[in-house]
Structure 1
Amino acid sequence: MTDHTSQAELVRRSLKGRYRKERRFRAYGIVAIAIALAALVTLFTDIVGKGYTGFLKTTITLEVTMDPDLMYLDDPTDPKQVRMADFVAPLVAAVGRALPSATQDDQDALRRLINPYASSELRDALIENPEWMGTTRTMSFLAHSNVDVYVKHKGDAAYSIKLTDQQQAWVDDLRARELVETSFNDVFFTSGDSRDPAKAGVLGAIVGSLLTMIITLVLAFPIGVAAAIYLEEFAPRNKLTDFIEVNINNLAAVPSIIFGLLGLAIFINLFGMPRSVPVVGGLVLTLMTLPTIIISSRAAIKSVPPSVREAAEGIGASKMQVVLHHVLPLALPGMLTGSIIGMAQALGETAPLLLIGMVAFIVEVPEGLFDAATVLPVQVFLWAGSPELAFIERASAAIMVLLAFLMSMNALAIWLRKRLERRW
């Protein structure tokens, strides 16, 4: 009886110990998940906190008088006169009229309230509407980047205010009269890069990313799927195919910068292709994405039950017909999912594109595959390294745009998987 009791006690103690270990293990898992979520929330909070103001612009509304004597311009349709005209003077005069306390000695300080590109906007508007000459028009222009920082980050220790006390008082006065306002920053989505933060936008980087992704998709998907079909369905099992499979798996783990060096050596140095163009960027990202697409496509082909192949062969289908008419349609959802995930990975790459020159300062939006271009990750890299603090919010806003693209691509992959997959 004593032995039976002692054995039961030992079993109970053992069970208690195992239960304690299980609870401890669950607690470790919960703590790990909580830490990961906290880090993710902290990261997103920091990005959004710094970047949401990048989607806002600061404008100044002025009553601009098109004075021919002030601008040294009689005929806005004469290109020679337009080139020699002064389009800054009427803007400074308009700011001076809006600020009665300003004196003639404050001309330089007043000019630094207006964006340097405002004179170009006034010139273009006058060329388009020559009948405005000699009239007064209410027009809105982008404020200077220093004014933009002051309006959006006044009191924030992370941003240094470069306006003088007098200029700050003027801006406060104009804001009180609603002549200086903030609104949605459409410039951020409709223009390319600029030396002036207020004029800097991501349109050029978005178009460059799309062109690069098109080249990557057109090359990587058919080549990757074809390679996966051959290796899985047609290739003989020998040392050569084993060697190829091992190296494909190894290539998937190679650092992306190695593919950048490979692209620099082959496409630019050997073949003489131009730097900083979407074609070269797409070729480099194709090399980087191919292993991922091949591996995911082979896994999708393996998931097709052997009974499908046997049934097709049983009714007289050839090997090619079995693959094209039965195996490939059933494996396509997994192939598409893997390809989209690989494309999303390529979209976020920076290192290989830096090596092929896509780090150039690109103002114009690319119109073709051989036009100079940059991509969103490289644009973030450029803005993050800029000495002007106003670019901090632009970089964070560009990160938010990039994350939106990546999440959209991953959501598309999940939707395709749920939509097209078949359960056996």
Structure 2
Amino acid sequence: MSETFTNPNEAGDFRRRVTETRRKGLKRRHRAERRFRVFGFLAIFAGLFFLAALLFSVAGKGFSAFQQTTITLPITFSEQVVDPEGLRDENPRLLLTANYPALVQDALAKTLDLDPANAAEMREAMRLVSRSARVDLRDVVMDDPSVIGKTVDVKLLAAADVDSANKGQIDLSLPETSRRVSDQQAAWMAELKAEGRLHKSFNAGFFTHGASSRPESAGIGVAFVGTLYMMGIVLVLSLPLGVASAIYLEEFAPKNRFTDVIEVNINNLAAVPSIVFGLLGVALFIGFLGLPRSAALVGGLVLTLMTLPTIIIATRSALKAVPPSIRSAALGVGASKMQAVFHHVLPLAMPGILTGTIIGLARALGETAPLLLIGMVAFVADYPASPLDPSTALPVQIYMWAGEAERAFVERTSAAIIVLLVFLILMNLTAVILRRRFERRW
């Protein structure tokens, strides 16, 4: 709408007002844009800050678990203690029940120049060494019975409190009543360290041992094997089922009310809390099919059901991203519908399919709630020989350690989180590499 002015001054005033209004509006837009940029920067900064705080906290508490304090003692495998009746050739299993703690006690008495008759002092000295020493010495004898009657230097795990004190996690300058390591034990530690018998080394047992009530001998080995079984089952089942379902729904299924209901349910299942899948696993796989509780097979099946919606949705999105001209060109040169899909569309959609699959597997790797419901929270110390054997998983192991009262379990919990995060990062990195490797631009 235009206005007619008879006075040139009025026209000039009008143009100035319009110009000023536009200038103010432009300034408002610029201020709004600057505010948005500031808010965006603050949001990114806050996210990075909390992520850094989480990683710093976990790393600060967990890296010490990758080292373990050991005490090297000259163990005399006395025949009177290990095999007093001399029947090891007839029945080697008798060596399993020998009084191996007596060998540790004798070695400590000789090394620290203690009086074996002083029961209180010997109890205090025995608290330097982990109770798993009995198992370690038993394994030495069972592996090589020829050590009976000999004196051999054996590395034994230090007790959890001694390990924490040696790592500086217990302040020995505090009064004795305020710490779990006595002055006498601290003096013995200094003596053993001066003789080169107490030292820190890489904690290989953290990656090979199973669950234990003693933190110094606890590890993620059994949980890691159970996790591998489960993830293998998830990969073998969820990838072909999810991709086949997505291809059918996207390329072949007729568009009717039935397929619409299926699509809605798939989208809803992707948002269902994971604990609901655990309830389904208990009812279907354990209650109805009678599969054993705490088995990697059941865990893999439950995680497969949970992962399928994610893979189906990601695969359908990847198929939709392929230009329709690819399908038209394939059909135009005489290819069948199936040939067009599997020879042309599917290879082009493969980067998105692999990315969705790995993201789904990464989500399954970190799940805990459904595994708790199917019994994988059980105390499992032995490696599972098959997916039907009792086992646990890495997230569940972290959950169990987090509830322990012993302080030494804190660093093992954080160390297990570090291992889990490394695997998640590797899986996501693999997804990025595969996407770039197979991606085609047009």
With the length of structure 1 as denominator, give the TM-score of the two structures: 0.95
* 1:313-342 C-alpha deviation (Å, 9 max, x unpaired): 111111111111111111112111101100
- Give the letter for the 1:315 counterpart: V
Query: After the TM superposition, which residues 24-39 of structure 1 pair with which residues of structure 2 at under 5 Å, given as runs?
Result: 24-39=35-50
Instruction: From the superposition, tell whether residues 162 and 84 of structure 1 become closer, same or farther in structure 2 (CA, over 3 Å).
Output: same
Match of 1:154 among 142, 159, 170: 170
Question: How many angstroms does 1:74 deviate by?
Answer: 6.1
Match of 1:89 among 83, 98, 102: 102
8 A Cα contact 2:95 2:141, kept in partner: no
Aligned counterpart, 1:361: 379
Structure 1 residues 72-81 or 350-359, which shifts more? 72-81
State how far apart, in whole Å, the 2-side matches of 1:309 and 1:72 are: 79
- Give the letter for the 2:327 counterpart: R
State how far apart, in whole Å, the 2-side matches of 1:37 and 1:258 are: 32
Aligned counterpart, 1:416: 434
Instruction: From the superposition, tell whether residues 282 and 72 of structure 1 become closer, same or farther in structure 2 (CA, over 3 Å).
Output: closer
Structure 1 residues 2-11 or 176-185, which shifts more? 2-11
Aligned counterpart, 1:139: 154
Structure 1 residues 53-62 or 96-105, which shifts more? 96-105
8 A Cα contact 1:330 1:422, kept in partner: yes
State how far apart, in whole Å, the 1-side matches of 2:278 and 2:99 are: 47
Q: Report the 3-state secondary structure (helix = DSSP H, G, I; strand = E; otherwise coil) of the residue aligned with 2:156.
A: strand
Match of 2:308 among 290, 311, 332: 290
Residue 112, structure 1, aligned to residue 130, structure 2: no
Aligned counterpart, 2:370: 352
- Give the letter for the 2:99 counterpart: D
Match of 1:20 among 27, 31, 56: 31
Q: Report the 3-state secondary structure (helix = DSSP H, G, I; strand = E; otherwise coil) of the residue aligned with 1:360.
A: coil
Structure 1 residues 242-251 or 122-131, which shifts more? 122-131
- Give the letter for the 2:194 counterpart: A
8 A Cα contact 1:73 1:85, kept in partner: no
Residue 42, structure 1, aligned to residue 61, structure 2: no
Question: How many angstroms does 1:297 deviate by?
Answer: 0.3
Match of 1:52 among 42, 63, 75: 63
Query: After the TM superposition, which residues 323-402 of structure 1 pair with which residues of structure 2 at under 5 Å, given as runs?
Result: 323-402=341-420
Question: How many angstroms does 1:84 deviate by?
Answer: 5.1
Output the aligned Cα RMSD: 1.8
- Give the letter for the 1:62 counterpart: L
Match of 2:265 among 231, 247, 254: 247
- Give the letter for the 2:32 counterpart: K
Query: After the TM superposition, which residues 129-278 of structure 1 pair with which residues of structure 2 at under 5 Å, given as runs?
Result: 129-152=144-167, 153-155=169-171, 161-278=179-296
- Give the letter for the 2:231 counterpart: M
Aligned counterpart, 2:5: none
State how far apart, in whole Å, the 2-side matches of 1:279 and 1:140 are: 38
Question: How many angstroms does 1:99 deviate by?
Answer: 1.6
* 1:151-193 C-alpha deviation (Å, 9 max, x unpaired): 2212299xx8422221122112222332111111000011111
In structure 1, the gaps of 5 or more residues are: none
Instruction: From the superposition, tell whether residues 223 and 96 of structure 1 become closer, same or farther in structure 2 (CA, over 3 Å).
Output: same
Instruction: From the superposition, tell whether residues 391 and 286 of structure 1 become closer, same or farther in structure 2 (CA, over 3 Å).
Output: same
Instruction: From the superposition, tell whether residues 249 and 128 of structure 1 become closer, same or farther in structure 2 (CA, over 3 Å).
Output: closer
In structure 2, the gaps of 5 or more residues are: 1-11
State how far apart, in whole Å, the 1-side matches of 2:315 and 2:217 are: 44
Which has more radius of gyration?
A: 2
Question: How many angstroms does 1:382 deviate by?
Answer: 0.5
- Give the letter for the 1:39 counterpart: F
8 A Cα contact 1:344 1:409, kept in partner: yes
- Report how many residues are paired: 422
- Give the letter for the 2:130 counterpart: N
Instruction: From the superposition, tell whether residues 70 and 364 of structure 1 become closer, same or farther in structure 2 (CA, over 3 Å).
Output: closer
- Give the letter for the 2:63 counterpart: Y
- Give the letter for the 1:154 counterpart: I
Instruction: From the superposition, tell whether residues 94 and 306 of structure 1 become closer, same or farther in structure 2 (CA, over 3 Å).
Output: same
State how far apart, in whole Å, the 1-side matches of 2:403 and 2:323 are: 52
8 A Cα contact 2:81 2:98, kept in partner: no
State how far apart, in whole Å, the 2-side matches of 1:251 and 1:132 are: 61
- Give the letter for the 2:170 counterpart: K
Aligned counterpart, 1:99: 112
8 A Cα contact 1:193 1:362, kept in partner: yes
8 A Cα contact 2:114 2:122, kept in partner: no
State how far apart, in whole Å, the 1-side matches of 2:269 and 2:93 are: 60
- Give the letter for the 1:143 counterpart: A
Question: How many angstroms does 1:71 deviate by?
Answer: 5.0
Q: Report the 3-state secondary structure (helix = DSSP H, G, I; strand = E; otherwise coil) of the residue aligned with 1:371.
A: coil
State how far apart, in whole Å, the 2-side matches of 1:128 and 1:257 are: 45
Structure 1 residues 43-52 or 165-174, which shifts more? 165-174
With the length of structure 2 as denominator, give the TM-score of the two structures: 0.91
